[in-house]
Amino acid sequence: MNTDIENLFKDKVLGHPAGLFVLFFTEMWERFSFYGMRVLLVNFLTMAAIGYNPGWEWSIENAGALFGTYAMLLYITPIVGGIIADKLTGYRWAVVIGALIMTLGHASMAIETEFSLYLGLALLVIGTGFFKPNITSIISEMYKENPEKKDGAYTIFYMGVNAGAFFGMMLCGYLAEKVGWSYGFGLAGVFMLLGTLQFWMGGSLFGKIGTKPTKEHQIEDLQDADDSLAEVDEEKEVEKENPFTTLDKILIVICSVIGLGYAINDPMSKIAGIDMFSALKIGNFEGQYTAVLFALALFLVLVIGRIFRYTKVVRDRMIAFIIFAFFTVFFWLSFEQGASSLIVFARDNVDRMLSGSSATIFNIVNTLLTVIPLLIISYVLYLLWKKTFHKIPGSNIVLVVCFVFMWGLVGWMLNRDFNTTAYDVSYKAIEKEVQNEEGESSLKYVAITEQTEVLATDKVVERTISIAEPITLEVGEQINMIAKDNDGTAYGYLDEERLLAARENGEKLSRDNGVVRATVKEVKANEVEITVSWFSILNSFFIIVFASFFSKWWESKYNPSAATKYALGLIIMAVGFGLLAWGANGVEGTMKVSMIWLILAYLFHTLGELCLSPVGLSYVSKLVPARMIALMFGMWYLAIAIGNKLAAVLGGQIENITKEYNLSTFFLIFTIVPLVAGVLVWSLNPVMKKLMHGVK
């Protein structure tokens, strides 16, 4: 009798079961939504409340605290979601439940109220917990009788991850920055919903694969996870000698409660002034950090206590794994600046305006960068349609709707950029002399708005600025404009709808509405303003470009040791931040940095990620005994979660450090820390090889 797996392998697309590509597109739309929202959040929260695209004008410190907690919890809830899927729902229903919860989360965020924001983030965290661990588990179950094809399957699957991240950040970011934040958040939710529908409608293709595991399946999975049945028996003997004691369980609960309490308390104390750990405050040292150090001490007692109950070889291997987890924190606290400080840096400190031939070249490159991947993925959809339409017509139709929508958005975006024209416009401003902390004088120009009261003593001058819009204006035409950034160095054209919204916004906030009258002086060449979110897509692009090179390197005779890969990852990423520190050297006030520095930084960050990121999880099953795998998986994700939280907390200090020192100093922190960590882990290479006892 044919099994579900055998039936699944009958309909092949590019040499793999058609069901793999249903999962490919499901993950692609989920990553589209996740990264589309992720690239917007800090930008939206910190954008000025009065402007072309008003935000909430939070400090980067507060925005970082909230985003850091969100990112931290994303790596914790999948542990719970995996357990629920194993015990109650099965993988497929867990994916559907998670996707629906995330859809509600995106919809909530599109409302743009404070309550809906917090609710939306909470729903996204919960939904990710169900979705993230279980869709990959379906692939694992699909290929358990064809293990030789599993590596290729995961390669294809992760292309879907990067494709979704690429298009999500590009399109959600573009729509949010050019039209409005709610449109960007809403678009993420639309594709999340459509992705859920296509997966649900394609469920019949999988048979019983991904349903709740039986006892028989659980035994088979245990056997597949080890190299041989003999090793399984050996591990069982070790487990009997080292069960989880009552004290172990109590320590796990205490550490978990304190960790969750800190994650919630950090943004709550900064944003709302409510501090659950205030009683633990020691001088200027915040109470929540006292609690975290206490929890960390208890966790070390737990881990060290369990490790030293094992035999020497097992103990040494676990110590090696913990060292890797420790250095993982330093990698992610630097790498994840891409979600916080680098967003603010790209918005406020990078020259994102291109005109003339530079704008034309960018538009052509951006078109190729967008259209070619979309054509390739559309071709995959065509192949899937041919193989599976007779079995899952509804799923295929939903996918076609998704791609028609996607092509429409891409066409609109590219057409808008190709038809954007630059205009020089003049406006009135008040000239003021200001002094910095060193007593040096400089001139500052404050635009005169329609609500500005000009005093007789004010010195009024005429200023000229360039604006870029996809509209036709005539020389001498009177227009209204408003600041597009937080420092008033860029302006955007106000049509009647935006003009009305700006005036209503100013009235609601009881502030100057920021509307400035201007006169068109000159029609210039084609010009394009690169969105803040565009730079974030470079990570996905560079992964797609360089992943195969690194894969071949790891398979060659020149494959470096795990410690060397870690060292390379940390040091290469440090080079990226070093370039940013160099490029930002001497930048003050409203000065802008060339975008080439940020592009190079993302290149080196991605190369570092390709060295380090794939290494860690592969060593869980190799170095850790079966009884400890669940705890060590949790510890590994905890290390990433801590790295993400620290990244957002430190990234939130960009304004404070820049004000106290300079922008270059801020980036030097993320140059020195991973560089020192990289050199240290490289020096430990001989020790790590001994601790791993032959594991490669």
Q: Where are the domains of the chain?
A: 1-225, 243-309, 310-352+531-696, 421-469+471-529
- Residue 225: what pLDDT? 42
**CA-wise closest residue to 92 among 212, 210, 214:** 210
Q: Are strands 593-594 and 516-529 parallel, antiparallel or unpaired?
A: unpaired
Residue 12: CA count within 13 A, CB half-sphere? 8
- Residue 232: what pLDDT? 44
Q: Are strands 350-351 and 421-435 parallel, antiparallel or unpaired?
A: unpaired
Q: Do domains 1-225 and 310-352+531-696 have the same CATH topology?
A: yes
Distance (Å) of CA 112 to CA 37, 99, 180, 185, 269: 13, 21, 11, 9, 21
For 610-662, write each residue's pLDDT tens digit.
988 767 666 766 777 666 666 677 778 888 889 999 999 999 999 899 988 89
Helix, strand, or coil (residue 285): strand
**CA-wise closest residue to 535 among 276, 674, 345:** 345
Beta strands in 87-163 (DSSP E): none
> Does residue 559 come out as left (phi exceeding 0), alpha (psi in the -120 to 50 range) or beta?
beta
Is residue 210 within 8 A of residue 4, CB to CB? The reply is no
For 110-143, write each residue's pLDDT tens digit.
998 999 999 999 999 999 988 887 787 788 777 7
Q: Which CATH code of 3.40.120.10, 1.10.260.40, 3.30.1330.60, 1.20.1250.20 fits the domain covering 310-352+531-696? A: 1.20.1250.20
Both tokens assigned to 589? 């006030």
Distance (Å) of CA 537 to CA 308, 375, 661: 45, 18, 30
Is residue 349 within 8 A of residue 584, CB to CB? The reply is yes
Fold of the domain spanning 1-225: Growth Hormone; Chain: A; (1.20.1250)
List, for the chain, all residue ranges whose pLDDT scores fall below the cut of 70: 1-11, 151, 212-243, 436-439, 589-590, 614, 616-618, 620-621, 625-631
Contacts of 414 (CB under 8 A, 6+ apart): 363, 366, 367, 370, 371
Q: How far apart are CA 301 and CA 149, in angstroms?
A: 42
Both tokens assigned to 681? 């882990």
